[in-house]
Amino acid sequence: MGPLIPLGQISSGWDFIIALIIGIAFGFILEASGFSSSRNITGVFYGYNFVVLRFFFTAVIVAMIGLEYFDYMGWIDLNMIYILPTYLSPMIVGAIIMGVGFIIGGFCPGTSYTAIAIGKLDAIVFTLGLFLGIFIFSEIFPYIEDFYYSGNMGNITISEVLGISNKLFTFIFVIIAVIAFYVTWLIEKKVRKTINPYKFE
């Protein structure tokens, strides 16, 4: 019955080794799919390369479907899973700032690690920028502490907010994702003048 470590099925001494292995798999999949290149990543915003959308949406829906089935089969106890707590206003503000940073920098932390691994200087600079950004945040934290903790909705799930069951939301999300795949395929056909996709290294 999962989750294995919190329920003691695997001793927590393995924690860090498992983290390392999972990280290696994550990094490998990211790099192999093309996310070590900032120009690949920002393609989704400009319509010449939809790798991010396809990758991201597919991963989310596969994970959601998987979790629901695992829960049904009794293989995992969904109450023991860490659900990201919702702090409404700071999260919205944070996401907006991150969106701008994403467009300007062209990376996100996970992808920047893989880009560093293949020798991209701009990724190294981006990661240093991350360091600096978090440092600035920590230093001014006492002034923004109240805002940081505002809008606390607890570990609320999407189904609690929308009032529909998790399963229904998963299904709707899958439909939205497939529609998005279809639409982006049409767009990409129009933008590509040749059969060579715009992919960068």
Beta carbon of residue 187, minimum distance to another protein (angstroms, whole number):
13
Is residue 188 part of the contact set for another protein (CB under 8 A)?
A: no
Is residue 19 part of the contact set for another protein (CB under 8 A)?
A: yes
Burial 117-138 (b: 16+ CB within 10 A, else e): eeebeebeebbeebeeeeeeee
Say how many residues make up the chain: 201
Four-point Cα dihedral 175, 177, 182, 186, nearest 10: 140
Radius of gyration of the chain (CA): 20
Is residue 175 part of the contact set for another protein (CB under 8 A)?
A: yes
Q: What mask, x for binding another protein by CB under 8 A, covers residues 54 to 93?
A: xxxxxxxxxxxxxxxxx-x-xxxx--xxxxxxxxx-xxxx
Contacts with another protein in 109-128 (CB under 8 A)? 109-110, 112-123, 125-128
Q: What is d(CA 51, CA 34) in angstroms, rounded to the nearest whole number?
A: 8
Is residue 99 part of the contact set for another protein (CB under 8 A)?
A: yes
Is residue 158 part of the contact set for another protein (CB under 8 A)?
A: yes
Contacts with another protein in 20-39 (CB under 8 A)? 20-34, 36-39
Beta carbon of residue 52, minimum distance to another protein (angstroms, whole number):
8
Q: How many residues bind another protein (CB under 8 A)?
A: 148
Q: What is d(CA 55, CA 179) in angstroms, rounded to the nearest whole number?
A: 14
- Closest of 105, 93, 95 to residue 132, by C-alpha: 105
Beta carbon of residue 44, minimum distance to another protein (angstroms, whole number):
8
Three-class secondary structure of residue 107 per DSSP:
coil
Is residue 18 part of the contact set for another protein (CB under 8 A)?
A: yes
Is residue 148 part of the contact set for another protein (CB under 8 A)?
A: yes
